[in-house]
A = this chain, B = another copy of it.
Amino acid sequence: MEKVLTAENINPRVHNMVYAVRGEVPLTAGKIAAKLANGDKSYPFDEILYCNIGNPQSVGQKPITYYRQVMAALDCPTVLDSNVLPPDVVVRARSLGSSIVGGTGAYTHSQGLISVRKEVARFCEQRDGHPCDPETLFLTNGASNAIAYLMTTMLGKPNHAVMIPKPQYPIYTALLSQLGAQPVFYELDEEAGWTVSATELKRAYAQASQEGLEIRAMVVINPGNPTGQCLDVPAMQTLARFCKEQRLVLMADEVYQENVYTDTKSFTSFKKVVRDLGSDFDGFELASFHSTSKGLIGECGRRGGYMELCGFDHDVFADIYKLASSNLCSNLDGQIMTALMVSPPHPGDASYPLFDQETRGIFESLKRKATKLVEGLKSIEGVSCQQAEGAMYVFPQISLSPAACQAAEDAGKSPDTFYCLSLLENTGICCVPGSGFGQKTGSWHLRATFLPPEEKMDDMITRFTKHHNDFSARYATAKSKL
């Protein structure tokens, strides 16, 4: 029977979409993992080391006890009424529970529970020193869901475009492709620590305008993904002013706000920067995104997150609401986890000592692993790597010889994909090729998380180094950066 739906006749915007985080290399890793599980001994490793995705608990990070206890107590009356949980957990669960009509099994308001939105608003106010209205918040199935609502609402024409950093997290290009709109890349300066300059913003904007694109928004990922840089306030002011001058919505992807590892830098939200700029920025359209998947909480499986919309037109807001309402609401455990993330236990609470120990342990470990992986990569000839100031990733640059690039071409792969597949098949280390995020023409990168367990880090670096040297020797012709 001839198929009704074929690759040729379905939505080309979906067919042509690319999403590398779960693309060819991770798919190959999954197949190898299945072989290993079936007793295949032909690989020189016995497990896949998944460094392709910021999924901390999948590689050994333990859930934070307090969060799970409150969630379980809310979901299950048997647990709440038992005596197995600390008293502050029970108080917190009863308090949250009393605000939820029908409990966690009921659909909520399409923006999410008002009680949780009030907690998020208090968190933002304490963080920023500026008011936050719970009515401007949407609780969503992770940040991706929120980004999709906003981009779907704002982008309606083939020449609609959004400025996004290069490299970027590929949800942005994936959504632009899906919506039939265009990316306008502004390049981050790798040698200067993945910074952005006003000159580059202007260049990108001018070129796109000349091509007839109508740029509606600019995405800033801070701390950067995959690049890890943490912006300082002057740089953020430059970005905000640029958006104001060019009449762009500023989309602030701030899901790594808790993941800053340098002692000399700290996270500042765009909300604070914009509000601190004063009344000139009244009514400025700013969207910011946060998630329960990153930070120290790492609750990816919850699919929790929120979006704050500042300065949006009433009718536009109503349309975003309508889009959210057609999905009814985000899942309740994600909503609950969002409340707990923004309002953890306090000193003096029964749960605080364990909570403090667990979160501090995760943070210090991430910090050590970030440093170790960057240093390890930098010590390899033909690999350079910027400091991982924040987030969960390194994005090293890999020198590939013309012979390696030719071999990749012969295999029908991009050189970085070819390299990552070789790395995977020889070491079990699963990374994502830089081309999935965007990279300067002629340079090759990969993204690796520094999430694997600390005790595996040294071995991982040793294996990576050996592979790189073997690969370089194998394809040793005129060895230069292409």
| Chain B residues, Cβ within 8 Å of A249 | 4-5
How far is B436's CA from A421's CA once the two chains are assembled, in angstroms?
Answer: 51
Nearest-neighbor residue (CB-CB) of A173 within chain B: B326
Q: Mark A59-76, 1 if CB is under 8 A from B, else 0.
A: 110010100110111011
Q: Tell me if B72 and A106 are in contact (CB < 8 A).
A: no
State whether the Cβ of A141 lies closer than 8 Å to any Cβ in chain B: yes
Name A102's contact: one of B57, B175, B329 (CB within 8 Å).
Answer: B57
How far is B142's CA from A77's CA once the two chains are assembled, in angstroms?
Answer: 24
| Chain B residues, Cβ within 8 Å of A102 | 55, 57-60, 301
Q: Mark A172-214, 1 if CB is under 8 A from B, else 0.
A: 0011001100000000000000000000000000000000000
Copies of this chain in its oligomeric complex: 2
Which of these binds chain B: A10-18, A119-127, A258-266, A381-389? A10-18
Q: Tell me if A156 and B14 are in contact (CB < 8 A).
A: yes
Name A71's contact: one of B57, B75, B282 (CB within 8 Å).
Answer: B75
| Chain B residues, Cβ within 8 Å of A156 | 10-14
Q: Tell me if B171 and A326 are in contact (CB < 8 A).
A: yes
Q: Tell me if B65 and A71 are in contact (CB < 8 A).
A: no
How far is B109's CA from A323's CA once the two chains are assembled, in angstroms?
Answer: 26
State whether the Cβ of A104 lies closer than 8 Å to any Cβ in chain B: yes
Q: Mark A290-318, 1 if CB is under 8 A from B, else 0.
A: 00010000111111000000011101100
Q: Tell me if B142 and A328 are in contact (CB < 8 A).
A: yes
Name A301's contact: one of B17, B73, B311, B331 (CB within 8 Å).
Answer: B331
Q: Which of A5, A63, A142, A174 has the most CB of B within 10 A?
A: A5
CB distance from A329 to the nearest CB of B (A): 8
Within 8 A of B (CB), among A2-61: 2-7, 10-15, 17, 19, 21-22, 30, 53, 55-60
State whether the Cβ of A341 lies closer than 8 Å to any Cβ in chain B: no
| Chain B residues, Cβ within 8 Å of A247 | 2, 4
Contact flag A105-B7 (CB < 8 Å), given A75-B71, A145-B327, A283-B1: no
State whether the Cβ of A216 lies closer than 8 Å to any Cβ in chain B: yes
CB distance from A204 to the nearest CB of B (A): 18
| Chain B residues, Cβ within 8 Å of A257 | none
Name A17's contact: one of B154, B322, B328 (CB within 8 Å).
Answer: B322
Which of these binds chain B: A78-86, A437-445, A457-465, A469-477? A78-86
Interface size of A by CB at 8 A reads 100
Q: Tell me if B19 and A325 are in contact (CB < 8 A).
A: yes
Nearest-neighbor residue (CB-CB) of A215 within chain B: B4
Nearest-neighbor residue (CB-CB) of A297 within chain B: B105
Q: Tell me if A106 and B154 are in contact (CB < 8 A).
A: no
Within 8 A of B (CB), among A235-269: 247-249
Residue numbers of A with Cβ under 8 A of B are: 1-7, 10-15, 17, 19, 21-22, 30, 53, 55-60, 63, 65, 68-69, 71-73, 75-79, 82, 84-85, 101-110, 141-142, 144-145, 148, 152-156, 170-171, 174-175, 178-179, 216-217, 247-249, 282-285, 293, 298-303, 311-313, 315-316, 319, 322-323, 325-334
**Pairs A–B under 8 Å by Cβ, sample size 10:** A3-B312, A4-B217, A4-B247, A5-B285, A12-B156, A55-B102, A57-B102, A104-B302, A170-B326, A332-B333
12 new A-B contacts, CB < 8 A, other than A5-B316, A65-B78, A78-B85, are A1-B311, A5-B216, A7-B315, A14-B156, A17-B319, A17-B326, A57-B102, A58-B101, A68-B77, A82-B82, A106-B300, A141-B141
